[in-house]
């Protein structure tokens, strides 16, 4: 390991690590839309890395970069070793999950329940940071029951950042550890954006990223006046073409002259190649269900995929489903702004 830490790159927009969603297939699809947005793996436990099939859990293609590896665990030595392995695989950064509220994760004593003990988290971060040269970051919540005051969050950020966390992503809701499912925890606790803004004000030299409830480019722009970065969760799979303007608006890249038809042509070839290697088509096609958010024909497109992708689908199923979408929309540059009510209107389907 190099003794010199790599300077962290500022990513104004990222896609949240999401179990069952941010796998290699979804990341491949997103990279056809945005080249610069920071992507994440699903959370991978240290046990899966140290005792499981490393290649299955960690392999990715260079096209997916920049890509962060999110780890789940509570043992500093295991986290340090997993971080070293992740760095060797070529991940851009290593992230520690201190935000997942699920019962299964709590049983393993990691995720959001770790916010009870900032010093324990600091020990983990210090071990991870000392073992790699790539940036080590943290994703957490506003708090948990009993540790849900702003002062608790401020203490957590202070202790963890001193241990070596170079960016802290804060989901602007508390995590309810009893009585709510993970899905309910993403919507029931109220959003507390002002707390995240205040953390940035009190820690001006620390990179702070906001997560939770962000669905539009306008909301991203607004938050970026108060914090360093914005992480998008559910909106990424509900409306993936939201990211078609992210590179130009937030990374300063020229607008890409690509159409949805071209992108789906590449996805069609990807599906064929992966199914030839033994992958189930549904594992890939499920990531494309939200590709035509509020577009005329989207309901029919989703119905065709949903009904047929699980039962020995035709190699041309994706092209069949695309027949429901207007040609004028498929042939439009992905960076263009939609204004035609005859196209952008789910109500007329």
- Catalytic residue IDs: 100
Between CA 243 and CA 262 the distance in angstroms is 16
Backbone angles phi, psi at 56, to 5 degrees: -65, -40
343 and 328 Cβ atoms separated by less than 8 Å:
yes
Between CA 156 and CA 175 the distance in angstroms is 15
Q: Which helix (H) or strand (E) holds 145?
A: none
Helix (H), strand (E), coil (C) string for 176-239: CCCCCCHHHHCCCCCCCHHHHHHHHHHCCCCEEEEECCCCCHHHHHHHCCCCCEEEECHHHHHC
Tokens for 188, please give them: 């029931």
128 is in an annotated binding site: no
35 is in an annotated binding site: no
User: Is cis: bond before 262, omega within 30 of 0?
Assistant: no
200 is in an annotated binding site: no
Between CA 86 and CA 209 the distance in angstroms is 22
Q: ∠ CA(257), CA(249), CA(200), 5° rounding? A: 155
139 is in an annotated binding site: yes
25 is in an annotated binding site: no
323 and 309 Cβ atoms separated by less than 8 Å:
no
211 is in an annotated binding site: yes
Beta bridge partners of 169: 139, 209
1 is in an annotated binding site: no
Q: Which of 61, 70, 52 is nearest to 25 (CA)?
A: 61
201 is in an annotated binding site: no
18 is in an annotated binding site: yes
234 is in an annotated binding site: yes
CB atoms < 10 A from the CB of 107, how many?
10
72 is in an annotated binding site: no
Between CA 247 and CA 36 the distance in angstroms is 6
Q: Point out the annotated binding site.
A: 17-19, 70, 139, 171, 211-213, 233-234
Q: Point out the annotated binding site for FMN.
A: 17-19, 70, 139, 171, 211-213, 233-234
């Amino acid at each position: 390991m190099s003794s010199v830490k790599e300077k962290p790159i500022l990513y104004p927009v990222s896609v949240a690590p999401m179990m069952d969603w941010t796998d290699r297939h979804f990341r491949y699809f997103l990279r056809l839309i945005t080249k610069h947005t920071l992507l994440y793996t699903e959370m991978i436990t240290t046990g899966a890395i140290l005792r499981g099939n490393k290649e299955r859990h960690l392999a990715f293609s260079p096209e997916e970069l920049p890509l962060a590896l999110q780890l789940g665990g509570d043992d500093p030595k295991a986290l340090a070793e997993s971080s070293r392995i992740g760095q060797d695989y070529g991940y851009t950064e290593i992230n520690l999950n201190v935000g997942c509220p699920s019962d299964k994760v709590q049983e393993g004593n990691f995720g959001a329940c770790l916010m009870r003990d900032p010093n324990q988290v600091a020990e983990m971060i210090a071990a991870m940071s000392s073992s790699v040269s790539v940036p080590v970051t943290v994703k957490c919540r506003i708090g948990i029951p009993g540790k849900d005051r702003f002062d608790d969050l401020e203490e957590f950020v202070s202790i963890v950042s001193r241990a070596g966390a170079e960016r802290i992503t804060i989901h602007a809701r508390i995590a309810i550890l009893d009585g709510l499912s993970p899905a309910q925890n993403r919507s029931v606790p109220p959003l507390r954006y002002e707390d995240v803004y205040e953390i940035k004000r009190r820690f001006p030299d620390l990179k702070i990223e906001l997560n939770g409830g962000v669905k539009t480019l306008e909301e991203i722009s607004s938050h970026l006046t108060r914090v360093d970065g914005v992480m998008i969760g559910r909106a990424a799979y509900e409306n993936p073409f939201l990211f078609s303007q992210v590179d130009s608006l937030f990374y300063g890249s020229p607008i890409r002259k690509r159409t949805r038809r071209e992108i789906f042509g590449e996805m069609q070839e990807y599906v064929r190649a992966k199914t030839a290697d033994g992958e189930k088509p549904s594992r890939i096609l499920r990531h494309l269900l939200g590709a035509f958010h509020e577009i005329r024909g989207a309901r029919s497109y989703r119905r065709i995929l949903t009904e047929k992708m699980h039962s020995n689908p035709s190699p041309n199923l994706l092209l069949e489903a695309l027949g429901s979408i207007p040609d004028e929309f498929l042939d439009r540059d992905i960076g263009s702004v939609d204004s035609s009510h005859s196209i952008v209107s789910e109500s007329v389907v």
